[in-house]
């Protein structure tokens, strides 16, 4: 017993109870209810009709489902590698000896505390093709206006850029913690042996930070698959649906078109995809550690 006279089990349960209740009501119940609804045609306002696997059959024939899924995958591919590298680089700067390190830490992390609508609206205005600040600068430098959000080839990358600015700070925090865990003695002995910066980086820092990188990768992929806010606010899924991600289609199907059952079915497929990918990552990266 940690404190004599207390009953740890009882106290533990009581302390955890409020969180557990909220968790059950807002996480576990909807998870189960969502699966339940996916077997119905339900428009929220009236009672549903049982349709068995029909919603799942329908989504495998829905080209909009596949194109939205592909756009989500595009987003994951555009953001994950860059955010990992950016986060790691920022962490290097922040854990190093540079005089800028305190300022950098704040500058890199502050965007993360902004809400997603603020970030989306801000970048949407910066990137507005005719009057946005970015293109004003481009034109001053003699270039042509870039269709950041209106060019179908550019739009997803533009959302990516806003995302880098917004969330790289979080990865920086994770990597900083990972780097700080590396024993100083290793660095000292490598310095005595005459290792330069690059050798230290590639032979010591990166290998020893792999567990953190694995965690960061798993979290990053899950978060990227769930992207909704920045895309919705900045491009509305446009131009002509080119950046509509699966979460947006799920939202539209459920809340705009009142096809709750279909929406739930798509959400469950997304959940399964993320689950499978996360498990694969966990197993593959876990093996490296041992």
Residues that bind another protein (CB under 8 A): 5, 43-46, 58, 121, 124, 128-131, 147, 149-152, 233-241, 252, 255-259
Q: At closest approach, how far in Å is the CB of 171 from another protein?
A: 27
Q: At closest approach, how far in Å is the CB of 8 from another protein?
A: 17
* Closer by beta carbon to another protein, 162 or else 217: 162
Q: At closest approach, how far in Å is the CB of 273 from another protein?
A: 23
Distance (Å) of CA 141 to CA 101, 111, 138, 147: 32, 27, 5, 16
* Closer by beta carbon to another protein, 34 or else 238: 238
Residue 75 contacts residue 164 (beta carbons within 8 Å): no
* Closer by beta carbon to another protein, 34 or else 236: 236
* Closer by beta carbon to another protein, 150 or else 212: 150
Give the Cα separation of 166 and 15 in Å (integer): 34
Give every CB contact of residue 39 below 8 A, 6+ residues apart in sequence: 50, 51, 52, 53, 55, 261
* Closer by beta carbon to another protein, 52 or else 194: 52
Give every CB contact of residue 5 below 8 A, 6+ residues apart in sequence: none
Q: At closest approach, how far in Å is the CB of 217 from another protein?
A: 32
Q: At closest approach, how far in Å is the CB of 194 from another protein?
A: 55
Q: At closest approach, how far in Å is the CB of 70 from another protein?
A: 15
* Closer by beta carbon to another protein, 5 or else 194: 5
Going 249 to 27 to 216 to 233, the CA torsion angle's sign is positive
Q: At closest approach, how far in Å is the CB of 267 from another protein?
A: 15
* Closer by beta carbon to another protein, 81 or else 152: 152
Helix or strand or coil: residue 43?
Answer: coil
Q: At closest approach, how far in Å is the CB of 169 from another protein?
A: 25
Give the Cα separation of 216 and 258 in Å (integer): 36
Half-sphere exposure of 139 (CA within 13 A, CB side): 12
* Closer by beta carbon to another protein, 124 or else 213: 124
Distance (Å) of CA 38 to CA 20, 31, 130, 225, 263: 26, 11, 44, 20, 7
Q: How many beta carbons lie within 10 A of that of residue 159, not counting itself?
A: 28
């Amino acid at each position: 017993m940690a404190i004599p006279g207390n009953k740890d089990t009882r106290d533990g349960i009581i302390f955890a109870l409020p969180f557990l209740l909220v968790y059950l009501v807002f996480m576990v119940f909807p998870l189960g209810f969502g699966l339940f609804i996916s077997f119905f045609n339900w428009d929220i306002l009236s009672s549903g009709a049982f349709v068995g696997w029909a919603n799942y059959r329908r989504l495998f024939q829905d080209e909009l489902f596949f194109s939205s899924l592909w756009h989500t995958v595009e987003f994951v591919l555009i953001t994950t590698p860059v955010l990992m590298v950016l986060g790691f680089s920022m962490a290097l700067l922040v854990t190093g000896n540079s005089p800028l390190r305190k300022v950098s830490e704040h500058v890199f992390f502050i965007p993360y505390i902004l809400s997603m609508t603020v970030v989306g609206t801000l970048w949407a205005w910066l990137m507005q093709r005719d009057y946005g600040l970015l293109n004003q600068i481009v034109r001053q430098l003699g270039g042509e206006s870039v269709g950041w959000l209106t060019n179908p080839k550019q739009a997803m990358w533009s959302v990516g850029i806003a995302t880098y600015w917004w969330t790289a700070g979080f990865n920086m925090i994770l990597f900083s913690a990972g780097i700080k865990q590396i024993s100083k003695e290793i660095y000292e002995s490598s310095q005595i042996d005459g290792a330069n910066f690059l050798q230290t980086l590639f032979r010591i820092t990166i290998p020893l930070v792999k567990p953190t990188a694995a965690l960061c990768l798993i979290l990053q992929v899950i978060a990227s698959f769930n992207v909704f806010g920045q895309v919705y606010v900045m491009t509305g899924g446009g131009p002509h649906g080119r950046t509509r991600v699966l979460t947006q289609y799920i939202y539209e199907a459920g809340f705009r078109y009142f096809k709750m059952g279909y929406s739930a079915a798509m959400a469950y497929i997304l959940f399964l995809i993320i689950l499978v990918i996360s498990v694969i990552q966990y197993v593959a990266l876990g093996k490296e550690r041992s």
